[in-house]
Chain A
């Protein structure tokens, strides 16, 4: 929102702070400024500076949506007097010339109106047009311009109806009927329902309450008599209507913030004065029409000086607190030494300030947070709860970076198209209801889509690379929040087609000593002959595979681990066993088996047959070719055997070897001896 420096100068008596300094002051004391820039020809009567305030920083401050509110802050910060432009005596004490009937006092806590006659509609004088233009509002005509001027000054949105175009003498404020139509000032036709509040005459809706006026009763050059509305509407109701109809106006933005009902009559009084300047001969007809919900004044807030001091961590004098609050127009009564009863001004009471903590902020920002000296607290020494998952993920990161993998972060989103391309069912994913683009349609069920993108992109720049990600898979559940499972996915790429599976398996073993791979049925995106599961401590903890060659130029080996499961399985307990005191003996075995017989199976058989005396088994090599028959291979292991209590004799070692050989033959394997 834009504020005119000149306008602020009119409202703060004796303001001489230059615009740039004022911007800094506002940022430090009140609300975030986005910048200040010169406006109009320097030296001309229009020359001004515009201070832009970040809207998000004043959503809780309805009063700051007008110049007077900001002027009040500036005056308080600089200890200068504020000039209130409103003269309530301009409203004649007479019976109202129009009836007001609020049918829903919750949605409209107050509606005030005043009727004017002998109106001349035409362009506003240049000074008024310039002032509106300076803060980004378009001049329309003198009547509408005054309503906008008062809004920009007092934060009170107003609307003028052409009284001759209204049906009847009563303004109704009611919920819209189902299907009721209204054509807005911007010529948008709106179809309404009972959640929308409307202003209506005897015939039907003439305005969307708090959002926009209707075209049918709009001010035109022919207008002679007007009804000027100044009302207060429930913020959430205005916001709903404005969001639903996609109609965001200067009025709705202000009403959303819960405007002060006490401000409606002030707005009318200010308008009377302005109309007299811009529409000579204009006359007020009758007196104020005003209906409102009776609400008890907000209870005073009890504020204790010692509490304030403890919370800020800085000593304060009672007089200092009183002075600050009074400058900000709070009523302050010292009920006992160091105890205040604080009354909140109406424009701060709608939702901004209700508890003593809110007053703490008022005092804090005015003394300046820079005056508070940082102080370490005295606290009990308490052991924080452990976070084993975090420690484990750190370990995983360490292992994989040490094995040459670089960490990537990928989005949690994927498109339906990408899901299908990799063979995932889009319907199995959690779908985002309001994605900004198709790329954010689904939540990932696997880290693969992101890693796949990394492979495609990086293969343009590197001949080979290794990367990994730790991230969460999002698995929808019929009820409640989805299951979020942390996974590791590591990828090893080579453009020359060399397989990285063995190297990736080695990396996996660095993390999971003793992990085993076993072939498994390939998924759509996996190489059908190079896909398997990874087992650790007897459980399937992940998959190891090559990406299907049709998906990528070059070759990529991938590892996918369920980190949650691995953490649950835990590390095997470590126990020291006495070092063997008797020497062991070793011998080699070469087993001849079918070409696709798994080395892992052969090793498992051998280990089982060797039994107790086996200390170690080491895979040496596999070989096919003469003299091994076609379609078969020879697999060699070195076995180390020993007894716990003596040195094995040559005969004993021989007997063990013979037993294993016999067993393997029994399983149908040949041996090369």
Chain B
């Protein structure tokens, strides 16, 4: 009799657990079946009326039904939670293709980029990075660089002059002189900076451009050492071996003096407007330091020797990024600058 009732309660409760559509409905089922005044509680009350041996058997049955229903309820509840979580997560859908708000980083100037790279390379090789004034003395720009008083480079047409005889430095080489004045040999230095030439501006000429001067003074410095550093520099900048050629070039502050040409990277050496159809681009005037230059700055050329080079940073940036108009670099045009 009791067994029948229990079986009916279980069957009915299981059916309603299955049928529950929400956590609330499920709770109502639980209260009806398992609550203090629920169906099982009612049956439990009747146990007292049974004979002791029957009671034990009925009690076991009751507990089994109770446990079975609790498990069924828990399983159903877990499914509800899972569904609810799934629904919430689905509702939280976000369109990842939406553009992100906020300010984007700006760009560094291409010359800054290339200059930084070269500074870092030379710093790693133990070179100092030096700076000098843009308005220079005639002494530092010419005299101390062994440029004779009647040298054509001193002509007014190449140099911007001031009334007091000072000038806008025409190259970064004066920083060599300042370096030798302040640092004792052995010394290794580079000096990037802005230089000025009194020239008409067009697509390939500027009155304001950038150079990077380099100098190494040590006991025994050879052309082979110079070549090593120049090839290292070019490999670093271009990320691969670059074909170079070294030919005689005349600068009063080096002896011997060289022009270092690289195979034109625009046309690969076949000839194009950038290399004036020659296949070669003049990039790196360099040489062994003229003994007079050392002597003028108080370094004994019998004891010390060195090499120096003057890298055209502006031309290098143009080669590296394929810029065909030099004027863009100082145009301040964001349509150009934001590309870097």
Q: Which residues of A contact B (CB under 8 A)?
A: 27-32, 35, 56-61, 235-236, 239-240, 243, 256, 310-314, 351, 355, 357-358, 360-361, 364-365, 369-370, 372-377, 379-385, 387, 389-390, 394, 397, 400-413, 430-436, 440, 443, 450, 453-454, 457-458, 461-462, 465-468, 472, 474, 481-482, 484
Contacts and interface: CB of A to CB of B under 8 A. Distances in A.
Of B111, B131, B137, which is in contact with the most chain A CB atoms at under 10 Å from its CB?
Answer: B131
A31 B332 CA distance: 38
Given A310-B220, A433-B162, A372 B227 contact: yes
Interface in B118-170: 119, 123, 126-131, 133-137, 148-152, 155-156, 160-163, 166, 168
B269 to A, nearest CB: 13
B248 interface: yes
A58 B189 CA distance: 29
A312 B186 contact: no
Contacts of B221: 377
Contact of A312 (B116, B123, B224): B224
Contacts of B213: none
A405 B335 CA distance: 14
Given A236-B150, A384-B128, A432-B161, A374 B227 contact: yes
Nearest to B250: A60
B312 interface: no
Contacts of B109: 407-409
Contact of B223 (A35, A313, A461): A313
Interface string B193-237: 010101110000001100000001010111111011011000000
Contact of B288 (A59, A357, A381, A482): A357
A390 B131 contact: yes
A313 B222 CA distance: 5
Contact of A377 (B119, B155, B228): B228
Interface string B85-119: 00000000000000000011111110110001001
Given A256-B150, A357-B256, A384-B188, A28 B245 contact: yes
B150 A311 contact: no
Given A411-B330, A436-B199, A313 B256 contact: no
A57 B249 contact: yes
B161 to A, nearest CB: 5
A312 B130 CA distance: 28
A465 B104 CA distance: 11
B246 interface: yes
A217 to B, nearest CB: 29
B258 interface: yes
Contacts of B252: 60
A382 B126 contact: yes
A59 B248 CA distance: 13
Contacts of A434: 156, 160-161, 198
A415 to B, nearest CB: 14
Contacts of B163: 431, 433
Contacts of B246: 369-370, 372
Contacts of B111: 409
Contacts of A404: 103-106
Contacts of A397: 108, 112
Given A61-B250, A243-B155, A312-B223, 4 more contacts: A370-B246, A384-B129, A407-B109, A409-B329
Given A408-B337, A432-B162, A365 B256 contact: yes
Contact of A29 (B105, B183, B186, B248): B248
A355 B302 CA distance: 12
Contact of A406 (B107, B168, B196, B259): B107
Contacts of B222: 310-313, 375, 377
A256 B155 CA distance: 13
Contacts of B51: none
Nearest to B130: A387
Contacts of A29: 247-248
Contacts of B231: 374
Contacts of A458: 332-334
Interface of B: 103-109, 111-112, 116, 119, 123, 126-131, 133-137, 148-152, 155-156, 160-163, 166, 168, 183, 186, 188-189, 194, 196, 198-200, 207-208, 216, 218, 220-225, 227-228, 230-231, 245-250, 252, 255-259, 276, 288, 290-291, 305, 329-335, 337-338
Given A361-B257, A372-B223, A409 B330 contact: yes
A58 B162 CA distance: 29
A457 B333 contact: yes
A59 B106 contact: no
Q: Which 8 A-B pairs have the closest CB atoms?
A: A313-B224, A236-B150, A361-B256, A313-B222, A406-B106, A404-B103, A454-B332, A369-B246
A408 B332 contact: yes
Nearest to B278: A35
A484 B218 contact: no
B290 to A, nearest CB: 7
Contacts of A474: 134-135
19 contacts: A56-B152, A312-B224, A360-B255, A374-B228, A375-B227, A383-B126, A384-B127, A401-B108, A403-B105, A404-B106, A406-B338, A411-B330, A412-B196, A434-B160, A462-B334, A466-B106, A481-B133, A481-B137, A482-B133
A458 B333 CA distance: 6
A311 B305 contact: yes
A351 to B, nearest CB: 8
A408 B111 CA distance: 10
A385 B161 contact: no
A467 B106 contact: yes
A428 to B, nearest CB: 15
A171 B76 CA distance: 128
Given A256-B152, A377-B228, A434-B198, A394 B116 contact: yes
Contacts of A411: 208, 330
Contacts of A59: 151-152, 250
Contact of A467 (B131, B225, B334): B334
Counting chain B CB atoms within 10 Å of each CB, the highest count among A28, A389, A410, A433 belongs to: A433
A172 to B, nearest CB: 24
Contact of A364 (B134, B183, B256): B256
A389 B290 contact: no
A358 B288 CA distance: 11
A58 B250 contact: yes
A407 B228 CA distance: 34
Nearest to B123: A384
Contact of B249 (A32, A431, A450, A468): A32
Contacts of B135: 430, 443, 474, 481-482, 484
A484 B106 contact: no
B226 to A, nearest CB: 8
B218 A379 contact: yes
A256 B334 CA distance: 47
Nearest to B228: A374
Nearest to B334: A458
B335 A461 contact: yes
A357 B290 contact: yes
B225 A377 contact: yes
A376 B225 contact: yes
Contacts of A387: 128-131
A436 B186 CA distance: 41
Contacts of B103: 403-404, 466
Given A58-B250, A432-B161, A407 B224 contact: no
Given A457-B332, A474-B134, A401 B105 contact: yes
A369 B186 contact: no
A357 B291 contact: yes
Nearest to B199: A436
B126 A376 contact: no
Nearest to B109: A407
B126 to A, nearest CB: 6
Which of A409, A411, A435, A465 counts the most chain B CB atoms within 10 A?
A: A409
A28 B247 CA distance: 5
A466 B102 CA distance: 13
A435 to B, nearest CB: 7
